[in-house]
Amino acid sequence: MSGRFPPRRDTSTRRATARNTKRPSPAPARTPSPNPPQNRSARCLPTACIRYAALSHDGSGLDSYEPYAIALKDLAVKDRATVLEENSYLFVERHDIRRGGAAPLGYRATWAERHKLAVSKLGARVSNVMTQVDFARLLLSGGSNRVSDEFIEVHIYGPLDNNAIESVRGKTKLKNTADRALAAKAKKHLSGMGRPWIEA
Amino acid sequence: MIEQAFISGQLGRAIYSEGGQQFVIAADHVEEPRPCSGTDLAMFFRSGAEYFAPISPISRLEELANELEHNTQAYKALTLAISIFDPELSDIRGLLIEAAEELLADAFVSAFVRRRLRARPLPLGADIEGALTATKEAGAIATYDLLNAVRASQFSIGIALSAWSEGAPVFFSSEDEMIEAEKLLVESGAFDEIITGMVSRNIGAVDSAVLRYSLIPSISSQIPRVRHLLTAVRNKARERLNLTGGERKETEKPEHKRESDSIRDLLSRFDDNEKRIRKRFSGSEAKARVDAQIDPIKGLIAKHDINLATKWVRDLVEFQVGHGEKRHLGMTLCSLAACALDAGETDFATALIEHAEALGIEDPVIFGSKAWALKAAGDLLGALVEFDSAIRRFPDDPWLRNGRAEVLKAMGHFDEALKQYDETAQRFPDDAVARNGRAEVLKAMGRFDEALGQYDETAQRFPDDAVVRNGRAEVLKAMGRFDEALTQYDETVQRFPDNAVVRNGRAEVLKAMGRFDEALMQYDETVRRFPDDVVVRTGRAEVLKAMGRFDEALEQYDETVQRFPDNAVARTGRAEVLKAMGRFDEALGQYDETIQRFPDNAVARAGRAEVLKAMGRFDEALGQYRESRQLFPYDRRMLRAEASVLLAMNRIMEARDLLLPETNPVSPDDWVKFHLLAMMYLKSGNLDAAITRLSNGAERGPWQSRSFFVGSLAVARIRKEEFERALPLLEAGMGLLDVVQKQRRLVLIGHSHAAIGEKQTAVASLKSIGDMVEPNIGGLRSLLVDRYELGGHSYPKTHAERFPFLDVQIAQKEFLLAIA
């Protein structure tokens, strides 16, 4: 699958969506080495086995992570996921967490108690005039870039495969023939597995 | 300015550093770089294997964006191409094919996908036939070609992978290293080319790929001993595929074997330090006796009486074991091996060299002889390995270095051969062979000016070397500077009056100038002077043939065959005359007989196929060429000729596989390929593409091929109904053509005149062809008379209804003439 196509991020209060396979690194940025790491075994370290996602109320994702989002099944993540109040990159900066240092208490929760974290973070902004759409926006909203994105981050331990997918949201009406064909292919595979494609 | 950049086509991202800061760009937003976030860098380090540093340094953002775009498209095309085979996606296949076809139009993308798809077998459930049918129906040529190549290579991929997993592990210290090497070989295209060679069962092509990729610095620096590694894989693959080309044939008869075993026994008892028993001769007496024995053995070898020669060699060895030294015996055996190689007895030569090797002495002649024998047997890669190893042992031997260069030249690796000759000439400034070899390579590359310069320089340094002067004259001839070539030959003949080659060359130039009478006189004189020179006699026959004096040419060949029964050239020449006379059955019989007598003669096999092609027996011609390609894997003429038969059969896609990629023509072989490519366009109806290429060849091609380009260009113009433009092409330079070429021109001239309504001139042209014509020319003439109503009688009104049918027939015949 091409670099542009891979689904990146989706959120749901009931569902976690895979964001990407990157790892929040507390290490300061450094210049890429002329020889990128080649050792396959390095990718199997436990820290590397965390997949990142975001909570979403309506299955939508963040555009800064590409215009496609995969909604994951509750069953596939419930026993191996935790949630963090915000983007872990910003979180470590905000709380000045050094490598190996512990995160402050009160910002994380297990999957089963994710609602408590959501209330703790967003409770003050909830009002009785809000609609479902407003709730969804409150939980997850895209800014002009990744730094201004607002969401609750999900950390999933271990790999994900197509059995974990509940649905995919994205566009199939694209101008570029290759992108249209690749989207059609993904849609076709999904329908073969009995999973819906939600046209964005 | 960009200081460093890494690209991932798979992720559609590039990361680069500029002014000490890191930025990232995405393939779909290349114009919007943004500073790298921790996410980007973490992703870079996490998925490092998917990022690569571009080979050429990139300094501008536009360059990086372009590179990223290409790589991203390539990955998309790869996904699409794989998906076309997926049976579950059959109902969106149309869209997948359309998208793939768009992307595969780019040469980089196409090569990228092809290299990867031909590195792993398709899954068992792949719907190969369905994919091909859909692609063909969609008219997606690039995708069809790719999928077809993938289909054709499935068996070979399996073999190559198992050969790799068996042969490669010993070359690496870890599995990771091996995986990285495999990746590099796949991505560089080495595997793809090896697979291509295996698919066509062409060990020469496999060897060529092995060598070429082993010499690429970016590969050899990353994979230690890459040539040995690839050779090991190649050997395993060859065993499994039972490829016959380039390897020694097991034709030794039991009688040989017995004698050979006996020689081996004798040699095993040879010990220089052991006191000789029954020593009755002094050193000089022993040498005289050996010399006296060598000549008769050489005579037997020349007569191909290998049984008796082996017995006599055994006697000779027995004598030398009793009276000589190991080194002397080694030299004797190598000298006989050289003679066997000259006679085409490569198996016998190999056996002799093996005996010499068994003596266990360190001598460049023995090591070099082994390499030469492998070269003669067609195992060029093996020869190269031997030369390399011999040069390592004996670095001060120019003979070995020149041998290496010769092998590289025979493999078509002209640049490498040139490099080797340069190095040798520099290291051994008094070695004329290296300098001549250098000039020869330059000539083969079509770099005539440089070749001439080299010959000039060598002639100054070695004024008494006839080879240099002859070579200089040949280059002048190849450049079409006939007058100067003739002057050079005249001067050389005066200087070296006893050199038959030079006189022969002079006659050749006269023939090329269309001065057939003078050429004949030169040959007559040379035959009188050198009655035992077979080349002169066959040359004389060739001139007679060019003059249309077929009966006399046949007579000359008959006489030559009688006088030199072991000469294959005279026999193939005789067959050529019979073909030119339209006596195809007899020509075929002559070729059959020649092949039976000289099974290793490439010219006879190619000639036989040409006769079959002229007879319209295309299937048989194709079979003959394919068989010949296996036997002579490095002979590119076979490949070209096979493509021409495929074109004649209208199998354009297959011909295209043999002719692409299109390259800028430089060497004579490049021009042959270029001509066939133009003919492919002509056949597929793309007349403008054909005309562009043919015009290029007619103006810039080597002079020997120009008349072919001109003739074919005229055919293309006629097909485009530009008859007035075809006529001046056809009428130019008629004086230089031989009789068959003239007949071809005349029939096309007749066509052009008839088409523009000049019926009388057309009739005159067609009549001037004469009676003794090839059936194809005769057939075309009859069709033209019928089509343009030139029969001199009245035609019924309904006759016009036949015109479309006749036009198709005429076009087909003219196409066949153009690729004959």
Which residue is closest to B101 within chain A, CA to CA?
A178
Which residues of chain B are within 8 Å of residue A147 when distances are taken between CB atoms?
37
How far CA B403 is from CA of B214, B390, B399, B406, in Å, comes to 19, 11, 6, 5
State yes or no: pLDDT of B699 exceeds 70.
yes
pLDDT at B225 exceeding the cut of 50: yes
Q: Omega of the bond prior to A26 within 30 degrees of 0, cis? A: no
Q: Is the pLDDT of residue A124 over 90?
A: yes
pLDDT tens sequence across B627-639 = 887 777 667 778 8
Q: What is the C-alpha radius of gyration for chain A, rounded to an integer number of angstroms?
A: 17
Tens digits of per-residue pLDDT, B475-510? 898 888 888 999 999 888 888 888 888 898 999 999
CB-based contact, A105 to chain B, within 8 Å: no
**DSSP annotation string for B539-580:** HHHHHHHHTT-HHHHHHHHHHHHHH-TT-HHHHHHHHHHHHH
Residue A16 scores a pLDDT above 50:
no
Question: Which string of DSSP letters, residue by residue, matches B66-126?
Answer: HHHHHHHHHHHHHHHHHHHT-GGGGGGHHHHHHHHHHHHTSHHHHHHHHHHHTTSPPPTT-
Mean pLDDT of B244-258: 47
The mean of the pLDDT values for chain A is: 76
pLDDT band at B744 (very low <50, low <70, confident <90, very high): confident
- Of the pLDDT bands very low, low, confident and very high (cuts 50, 70, 90), residue B205 is confident
Q: How far apart are CA B327 and CA B337, in angstroms?
A: 15
Q: What is the pLDDT of residue A12?
A: 34
pLDDT above 70 as % of chain B:
92
The pLDDT of residue A118 is above 50:
yes
Q: Which of A20, A63, A171, A185 to mutate to test the interface with B (most CBs of B within 10 A)?
A: A185
Whole-angstrom CA distances from B741 to A154, B448, B708, B735 are 81, 26, 9, 10
What's the distance, CA A94 to chain centroid? 20
Asked if B105 has any chain A CB less than 8 Å from its own CB, the reply is: no
Residue contacts between A and B (CB atoms, under 8 Å): 127
Residue of chain B minimizing CA distance to A29? B38
Question: Greater confidence, A1 or A187?
Answer: A187
Predicted pLDDT of residue B286: 65
pTM, two decimal places: 0.52
Q: What is the pLDDT of residues B650-661, one digit of tens each?
A: 888 788 877 777
B96 pLDDT band, cuts 50/70/90, is very high
Residue B297 scores a pLDDT above 50: yes
Q: Which residue of A has its CA nearest to B13?
A: A3
Among chain A residues, CA nearest to B86: A185
CA distance readout (Å), A59 to A14, A16, A94, A186, B786: 9, 9, 28, 17, 77
Q: Is residue B255 over pLDDT 60?
A: no
- Judge: A189–B11 Cβ closer than 8 Å, yes or no: no
Chain B interface includes A67 (CB < 8 A): no
Tell me the per-residue pLDDT of B260-294, one tens digit each, with 9 for 90 and over.
Answer: 666 766 666 665 555 454 455 566 666 667 777 77
Region A167-191: mean pLDDT is 89
Residues in B touching A37 (Cβ below 8 Å): 45, 48-49
**Which ipTM was obtained for this model?**
0.70
Neighboring chain B residues of A24 at a CB cutoff of 8 Å: 38, 42
Structure-token pair, residue B604: 């006879």
**What separation, in Å, do the N-terminal and C-terminal C-alpha atoms of chain A show?**
20
In B547-665, where does DSSP find H-type helix? 550-563, 568-580, 584-597, 602-614, 618-631, 636-648, 652-659
Is A3's Cβ below 8 Å from some Cβ in B?
Answer: yes
Task: Return mean pLDDT, chain B.
Answer: 83
Using CB atoms within 10 Å of the CB of residue B751, give its burial: 0 to 12 exposed, 13 to 18 middle, 19+ buried.
buried
> CA-based angle B471:B476:B481, to the nearest 5?
160
The pLDDT assigned to B565 comes to 81
| pLDDT (0 to 100) of residue B437 | 92
Cβ–Cβ of A22/B72 closer than 8 Å?
A: no
Per-residue pLDDT, averaged over B93-99, amounts to 94
**Strand-pair category, A50-56 with A81-84:** unpaired
**In this model, does residue B247 exceed pLDDT 50?**
no
Residue B729 predicted with pLDDT over 80: yes
* Residue B21: its H or E element: strand B21-26
**CB neighbour burial string for A121-142, b if at least 16 within 10 angstroms, e if fewer:** beeeeeeeeeeeeebbbbbbeb
Half-sphere exposure of B234 (CA within 13 A, CB side): 32
Long-range contacts of B621-628 (CB under 8 A, 24+ apart): B621/B645, B622/B646, B622/B649, B628/B602
Give A4 to chain B, closest Cα distance, Å: 6
Query: Is B36 in Cβ contact with A1 (below 8 Å)?
Result: no
Confidence check: pLDDT of B430 > 70:
yes
User: Does the distance separating the beta carbons of A37 and B176 come in below 8 Å?
Assistant: no
> Nearest C-alpha of chain A: how many angstroms from B132?
18
Judged against a pLDDT cut of 70, whether residue A183 lies above it is answered with yes
Whether A104 has a pLDDT exceeding 50, the answer reads: yes
DSSP string covering B519-535: HHHHHHHHHHH-TT-HH
Residue B99: the pLDDT is 94
Tell me the average pLDDT across B643-670.
80
Specify the pLDDT at position A3. Answer: 27
Give the residue from chain B lying closest to A44, CA to CA: B46
The percent of residues in chain B predicted with pLDDT above 90, rounded, is 16
